[in-house]
Structure 1
Amino acid sequence: MRVNYQKSFYNAAKAVSKISNGLDNLSFPLDILEIISQDQRIKLMTFNEFSNKTHTPHFQISSIFGSEDAFHIRKGNKALIIYNDSLPMNRLRFTLAHEYGHFVMGHTGINLNEHFTYEDFYRRKAEEYEANSFASCLLFPLHIRYQYLNCLDINKISKVFQISVQSSEIALKVIKSHMNSGLDNYMSSNENLHPKNYLLFLKESLDSHMDYINEFNYIYDLPI
């Protein structure tokens, strides 16, 4: 069992597109706390607030729930996102977007009361990659990366979109990889169509990739 990173990235980009289409007058840096707060299915709570409400010692939260940054607890179609508000701002913004991505994409996560299997490992690996991709695409949208392609600078990206330098570097690698794969052929002169065009590029690239895999598997399975 392996993680199909191309498929996971497309799933994340598609989820971001769906969220963004329901939001008006987006400006950057994106107010991620406001975006999540507008989702009536989500309630935000800091580590301190969670500690006070549940009588869980603050210093034990990270060891019990497996994260020093944030985690979420899902119940039906609602969730509670608990986060460490003492994190540096850029890291906190990405962390919140990451946890929101887990919820939006319906990830299973880890049941702390169940045995963690081999299949769970790869599923969780795919979910983490999707949540990271969701956060990146939400805070620094793909079509905006394309629009500023000729004047992208890692430090400037980090400052303007309030994401870490590491996140900025990864975002640049992604757009450069997509350009090398023919993204420019999909983008029209009408910038309003860029989000839709970019998603189409990802979809058709994924379809082509899956066709190649299926063809390879067919040849591999032929009797000798």
Structure 2
Amino acid sequence: MIIEEPDFKKAVQTADEILVSSKEIKAFPFMLIPVIMEYTDFELRTFGWIEKKGISAKDSFLSNDAELKKKGGMYILFYNEMMPPARLIFSCTHELGHYMLGHPIDSLSRMRDRNDPKFLDLYRICEVEANFFAAELLMPEPIIVELFKRGCKITEEFLIKHFEVSREAAKKRIELLRKAYDWNNFNRYPDSCNYDDIIVEKYKKFIDSIAPQKFKYGYSLEQDLELEKQRETWV
């Protein structure tokens, strides 16, 4: 498996394909376990389950939150049930991303531990892609952009309130949006995915619950000016 840099397009598109096709995701936040069951045959086990068997979870996993392991051809998602729900959901979605993106699950820990910079770089690339996948699935860019178009101010507090993510995840999401979106023209940067309109239409009820659409045939001059002010504050 040779990768030179993160495939951001693949990570986002894979998440968008789930958003479009999933029968379990109807609004945000959503129940993650049914989605995992919808797309995988994972076994799920808690860190507490490991501890009851006399095995130290701390010594068994690199992550304090969640980790996907491949045992005898079967995938097991171990998760720390003591972590705050928002943080845990992002971590588990991150692990789902490794699987959906075809990362070498059984080799990731060895990549991290090896001294060879080539393997460490590959590990970091897989981590970045999994983070992009998780961010898009939990806080879809097309939905955030549509909410922005309707006059919502996209802040950490806004994402925490409506998507029930951790502050750290909300902060990183905003940072990524600043880099990956052309806010002047409401367009993703080159090689964007083709699912934006489908996602906005599928989750219209959720979007309307936050920001009912006031202008059916475009925006007024006043609204355009207000959006421009908002762009200057956070983009």
Q: Which amino acid aligns with 2:39?
A: D
Q: 2:81 aligns with which of 85, 88, 106?
A: 85
More off after superposition, 63-72 vs 134-143: 63-72
In the other structure, the counterpart of 1:63 is 59
C-alpha distance in structure 1 between counterparts of 2:134 and 2:58, whole Å: 21
Identity of aligned residues (%): 23
Pairwise mapping of residues 71-220 of structure 1 onto structure 2 (< 5 A)? 71-75=67-71, 78-108=74-104, 109-111=108-110, 115=114, 117-149=116-148, 150-151=151-152, 152-180=154-182, 184-185=186-187, 192-193=197-198
Q: Which amino acid aligns with 1:28?
A: F
Contact 1:146-1:175 within 8 A present in 2 as well: no
In the other structure, the counterpart of 1:199 is none
| CA shift for structure 1 position 40 | 4.1
Q: Per-residue CA shift, 1:11-58, capped at 9, x if unaligned?
A: 210111222232125211121122113334212111122334xx343x
C-alpha distance in structure 2 between counterparts of 1:145 and 1:194, whole Å: 11
Q: Per-residue CA shift, 1:178-222, capped at 9, x if unaligned?
A: 3337762569xx973467xxxxxxxxxxxxxxxxxxxxxxxxxxx
Q: Secondary structure at the match of 2:186?
A: helix
C-alpha distance in structure 2 between counterparts of 1:18 and 1:138, whole Å: 10
Q: Which amino acid aligns with 1:27?
A: A
Distance change (3 Å), C-alpha of 1:125 and 1:70? same
| CA shift for structure 1 position 61 | 1.4
- TM superposition score normalised by structure 1: 0.71
C-alpha distance in structure 2 between counterparts of 1:72 and 1:171, whole Å: 23
In the other structure, the counterpart of 1:4 is 5
Unaligned runs of 5+ in 1: 196-224
Contact 2:20-2:198 within 8 A present in 1 as well: no
More off after superposition, 72-81 vs 153-162: 72-81
C-alpha distance in structure 2 between counterparts of 1:69 and 1:4, whole Å: 26
C-alpha distance in structure 2 between counterparts of 1:168 and 1:130, whole Å: 17
Contact 2:66-2:78 within 8 A present in 1 as well: yes
Say how many residue pairs are matched: 187
Distance change (3 Å), C-alpha of 1:2 and 1:80? closer
Q: Secondary structure at the match of 1:148?
A: helix
More off after superposition, 84-93 vs 17-26: 17-26
Higher normalized helix content (fraction of residues): 1
